[in-house]
Chains A and B, each alone.
Chain A
Amino acid sequence: MPPARRYTKTHEWLVQSESPEAWNVGISDFAQQEVTDVVFVELPKVGRQVPRGGEAAIIESVKAAFSIYSPVGGTILAVNHALDGDPGLLNRDPYGQGWIFRIQPSDLSELDQLMDEHAYEQFLSEGGGHPEHG
């Protein structure tokens, strides 16, 4: 796991993209294993405002659907259309090509409430909870 990545208790990650105004969001390796083979990702509309913890995307496996909650409040800047044709990217490269959307945080202080890598690993080792069914 590269540094400076931040995590939620619902297993999303957030990492700065090209500027402090633009952050990529995806799901953790633990989450992609729990979800099993992703068959479809419902991406948010670019330009949409999402509150912190609001449902921003949906990931479908064969037998389940999972809500992806935005780690911070903000505006959706871009979405990863590569997932439309190859949703398996989310399983194969959850921290890289499997990113889901890019967000412009409306309040950077919200970042402080997320876990760093160490805290997330600690959270997982303590039982960490399973991703929530959507």
Chain B
Amino acid sequence: MADFTPHTVEETREMLEFLGLSSLQDLVRNYPVEQTFPLLPLAGSGMTEREVLREVEGWARKNAGASSVVVFRGAGSYEHFIPEAVPALIGRGEFLTSYTPYQPEASQGLLQAIFEFQTAVSSLFGMDLSNASLYDGATAAAEACLVALRHTGRPTLLVSEGLDPAVVSVIRTYVEGVGCRLVRVPMSGGLTRMSDLEPLLSEDVAAFIGSIPTFWGTVEDFSGFREALSGKGALFLLHANPHSLSLLRSPGEWGADLATGEGQPLGIPMMGGGPYLGLMTASRSFMRKIPGRLVGQTVDREGRVAYVLTLQAREQHIRREKANSNVCTNETLLSLAALIYLSLLGPEGFREAGASSHANAMKLRKGLSEIDGIRILHPDVPHFHEFLVEYPMPAREVSRMLLSRGYLGGLPLEGYSGPGGPNRMLWCATEVRTGAEIDGVLSALREIMSGRTGK
């Protein structure tokens, strides 16, 4: 059994003696005695390092990870190239095993890194400022909605159908308690149109939230949204995939008041769904309204540049029930990963990754369009690196057959409303896909589809 208590038998005995106790059990004599020391049969007898690795390796091997299958699935989690320097640097003990930098003098390195993360992310989003991170993209979007509800004092949120349904679910969970109403803004032809938004705008609307790109892969034109919304006193929120912002017009350029995103595509492994990185950016007028930690630049007593956690009076440990949010733990280590990733790629590399993702997805889409029985949806609408297709059979079946051929194909959209449906599939290709892999999955699909038509 592994043991992380360093005491020798002799030390334990002496320490107990110093305390006037005769056994370790005496330390819990003030506890509700009749309930102490329950039996824990499942916990077992403990393991060595080697034994525990054997066990978890057994579980790991049973999964279709990207090292054993070729991934063409996105829908909120993406396989991107992660430079080795990212895990190597965030694994340094000074970062990995530190706490929230409440003592700035002993945490300048971490504080500076968070400040640099805020700089890189706000810049990427084209916004004035960024916080130090939230749990994931969905909770960041939900927190942005709560900011809008508090700021406007209005009860209605307009949510574009282009937003990831999982993100919408989280927003619903978060805002239900505070008595707010979610209204869906439908898409037509894969896009949210001003003509669909305008009739829904009223004095009740706190904010509209749209997506860059949409969950369905399309790229929206938000021209005029900012003006229409502020004309009614409502806020304009955008939820963006940061990888797409290498090419696409940023939330700041569209005039967003608050913009959020899922930071996973920035150097963070898919890891079965977490931990991920919630990004929250804002225009300066919302500086004191947003949740989460903020690092600011200042000077020390001798005038050296120094970094500190700032605007803490917004936070739960000071404001308690009147705080902006209950958030305390965030995702600092992953914000560091994102910063290192962006720094390693630089503007040129980041653009190259985005352009290759787009090119690969478009190549895949063209190939799919040439297969009999597969219909491409929204063929004339701009897409980034995901797109929808429809089969004459359940997409779940297609997915199963692809998996047996070594491909994690697009996401089957059974149970999804809007542009979803049982025969539809959301495909994705990022910069890591090779021409051979794309050709391979296309030929597997041709086989599957011809088997189907041959029946």
A→B interface (CB under 8 Å): 39-40, 42, 60-65, 133-134
Chain B residue numbers with a CB within 8 Å of A64 are: 313, 318
Interchain nearest-CB distance for B385 vs A (Å):
42
Q: Does B322 contact A (CB under 8 A)?
A: yes
Alpha-carbon distance A65/B318, docked complex (angstroms): 7
The majority secondary structure among interface residues of chain A is: loop
Chain A residue numbers with a CB within 8 Å of B288 are: 40, 42
List residues of B (304-339) whose CB comes within 8 Å of A's CBs: 311-313, 318-319, 322
Q: Once the chains bind, are B319 and A62 in contact (CB under 8 Å)? A: no
A to B CB contacts below 8 Å, 21 in the list = A39-B313, A40-B288, A40-B311, A40-B313, A42-B288, A60-B313, A61-B313, A62-B312, A62-B313, A63-B312, A63-B313, A63-B318, A64-B313, A64-B318, A65-B313, A65-B318, A65-B319, A65-B322, A133-B318, A134-B319, A134-B322
Chain B residue numbers with a CB within 8 Å of A62 are: 312-313
List residues of B (264-323) whose CB comes within 8 Å of A's CBs: 288, 311-313, 318-319, 322
Chain B residue numbers with a CB within 8 Å of A133 are: 318
List residues of B (67-112) whose CB comes within 8 Å of A's CBs: none
Chain B residue numbers with a CB within 8 Å of A39 are: 313
Chain B residue numbers with a CB within 8 Å of A65 are: 313, 318-319, 322
B→A interface (CB under 8 Å): 288, 311-313, 318-319, 322
Q: Which of B288, B313, B319 has the most CB of A within 10 A?
A: B313
Of all chain B residues, the one with the shortest Cβ separation from A40 is B288
Chain A residue numbers with a CB within 8 Å of B311 are: 40
Chain A residue numbers with a CB within 8 Å of B313 are: 39-40, 60-65
Interchain nearest-CB distance for A26 vs B (Å):
19
Listed from nearest, the 6 A-B pairs whose CB atoms lie closest are: A60-B313, A65-B313, A65-B319, A65-B318, A64-B318, A134-B322
Of all chain A residues, the one with the shortest Cβ separation from B289 is A42
Alpha-carbon distance A55/B229, docked complex (angstroms): 30
Interchain nearest-CB distance for A57 vs B (Å):
13
Alpha-carbon distance A12/B312, docked complex (angstroms): 24
Of all chain B residues, the one with the shortest Cβ separation from A134 is B322
Interchain nearest-CB distance for A38 vs B (Å):
10
Alpha-carbon distance A61/B322, docked complex (angstroms): 16
Q: Which of A39, A60, A63 has the most CB of B within 10 A?
A: A60
Interchain nearest-CB distance for A91 vs B (Å):
16
Chain B residue numbers with a CB within 8 Å of A134 are: 319, 322
Chain A residue numbers with a CB within 8 Å of B319 are: 65, 134
Interchain nearest-CB distance for A132 vs B (Å):
12
Alpha-carbon distance A43/B211, docked complex (angstroms): 34
Alpha-carbon distance A60/B313, docked complex (angstroms): 6
Chain B residue numbers with a CB within 8 Å of A61 are: 313
Alpha-carbon distance A60/B315, docked complex (angstroms): 11
Alpha-carbon distance A62/B314, docked complex (angstroms): 10
Chain A residue numbers with a CB within 8 Å of B322 are: 65, 134
Of all chain B residues, the one with the shortest Cβ separation from A67 is B322
Chain A residue numbers with a CB within 8 Å of B318 are: 63-65, 133
Alpha-carbon distance A79/B319, docked complex (angstroms): 23
Of all chain B residues, the one with the shortest Cβ separation from A42 is B288
Chain B residue numbers with a CB within 8 Å of A60 are: 313
Of all chain B residues, the one with the shortest Cβ separation from A59 is B313
Alpha-carbon distance A112/B318, docked complex (angstroms): 34
Known: A65-B313, A134-B322. 5 other contacts (CB 8 A): A60-B313, A62-B313, A64-B318, A65-B322, A134-B319
Alpha-carbon distance A62/B308, docked complex (angstroms): 11
Alpha-carbon distance A61/B318, docked complex (angstroms): 10
Interchain nearest-CB distance for B135 vs A (Å):
24
Alpha-carbon distance A9/B142, docked complex (angstroms): 40
Alpha-carbon distance A64/B313, docked complex (angstroms): 6
Interchain nearest-CB distance for A33 vs B (Å):
18
Alpha-carbon distance A40/B319, docked complex (angstroms): 14
Chain B residue numbers with a CB within 8 Å of A63 are: 312-313, 318
Alpha-carbon distance A65/B312, docked complex (angstroms): 9
Alpha-carbon distance A39/B308, docked complex (angstroms): 15
Interchain nearest-CB distance for B455 vs A (Å):
69
Chain B residue numbers with a CB within 8 Å of A40 are: 288, 311, 313
Interchain nearest-CB distance for B189 vs A (Å):
42
Alpha-carbon distance A60/B319, docked complex (angstroms): 10
Interchain nearest-CB distance for B299 vs A (Å):
15
Interchain nearest-CB distance for A9 vs B (Å):
21
Alpha-carbon distance A70/B375, docked complex (angstroms): 66
Alpha-carbon distance A65/B288, docked complex (angstroms): 13
Interchain nearest-CB distance for A44 vs B (Å):
13
Interchain nearest-CB distance for B285 vs A (Å):
12
Alpha-carbon distance A64/B322, docked complex (angstroms): 12
